[in-house]
């Protein structure tokens, strides 16, 4: 048996080289796309973090202003809780709302907001106030109006199923005939 020698010419090696170069080029492009995507996500994450921490810092500054008002009102009205709350209501920093013994305000930055609320303690208590709400809201991504129909549809689907309608006279008659046939057997 004769062994034949297989020779690879310059054309085959050129084709293999071209295929390898094309594969490496595709991998390079995919790597660059992935790197740019990761960079964009890192930049957005840093911006979001900066915005959120800015909101927290702003809320703490507002809380400090409220605390100053509470200290001055406490000095003016040390014993009477109702007079103390009335004085606090008059000296609230700008942007704050008071309902009974709860003060609330909203810090805004960009498309985010931080809903804040504190409960004012009675004069003589250990602390002057306690946090009741400190909630971050992410802008206008979700519109309340968009979900109005959804909520209505959902509540309707949870209702009790309607009672079955009574059989019509024709169905009742055919049922009686079947019952008679069963009795005769």
Query: Is the predicted pLDDT of residue 47 greater than 50, yes or no?
Result: yes
pLDDT tens digits along 31-43? 999 999 999 999 9
pLDDT tens digits along 2-17? 788 877 778 888 999 9
pLDDT tens digits along 162-183? 545 545 444 444 444 444 444 4
Closest Cα partner for 113 from 47, 58, 42? 58
φ, ψ of residue 122 to 5 degrees: the values are: -65, 155
Does any domain span residue 168? no
52 contacts 112 by C-beta, under 8 angstroms: yes
Beta-ladder partners of 118: 103, 131
Q: In terms of pTM, does the model score above 0.85? A: no
Does any domain span residue 70? yes
Query: For residue 76, how far is the Cα from the chain centroid?
Result: 43
Cα 31 from Cα 28, distance rounded (Å): 5
Structurally, the chain folds into a number of domains equal to 1
Separation of first and last alpha carbons in the chain? 91
As a whole number, mean pLDDT of residues 10-34 equals 94
Closest Cα partner for 112 from 51, 45, 44, 56? 51
As a whole number, mean pLDDT of residues 107-117 equals 89
Average pLDDT, rounded, for the chain: 79
Query: Is the predicted pLDDT of residue 102 greater than 60, yes or no?
Result: yes
pLDDT at 141: 52
Pull the structure tokens for residue 98.
């008071």
120 contacts 102 by C-beta, under 8 angstroms: yes
pLDDT at 40: 96
DSSP 1-31: -PPPPP---HHHHHHHHHHHHHHHHHHHHHH
Domain enclosing residue 146, as ranges: 54-155
92 to 31, 46, 49, 64, 109: CA distances (angstroms): 56, 34, 29, 12, 22
Does any domain span residue 179? no
Does any domain span residue 163? no
Cα 18 from Cα 182, distance rounded (Å): 86
């Amino acid at each position: 048996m004769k062994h034949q020698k297989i020779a690879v010419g310059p054309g085959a090696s050129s084709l293999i080289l071209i295929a390898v170069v094309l594969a490496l080029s595709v991998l390079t492009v995919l790597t660059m796309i992935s790197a740019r995507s990761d960079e964009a996500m890192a930049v957005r994450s840093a911006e979001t973090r900066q915005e959120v921490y800015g909101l927290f810092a702003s809320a703490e500054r507002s809380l400090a202003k409220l605390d100053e008002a509470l200290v001055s009102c406490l000095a003016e009205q040390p014993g009477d809780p109702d007079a103390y709350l009335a004085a606090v209501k008059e000296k609230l920093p700008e942007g704050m709302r008071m309902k009974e013994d709860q003060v609330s305000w909203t810090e805004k930055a960009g498309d985010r907001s931080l809903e804040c609320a504190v409960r004012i303690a009675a004069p003589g208590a250990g602390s002057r106030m306690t946090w009741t709400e400190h909630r971050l809201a992410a802008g206008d991504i979700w519109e309340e109006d968009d979900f109005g129909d959804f909520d209505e549809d959902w509540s309707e689907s949870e209702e009790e199923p309607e009672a079955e309608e009574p059989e019509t006279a024709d169905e009742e008659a055919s049922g009686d005939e079947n019952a008679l046939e069963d009795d005769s057997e």
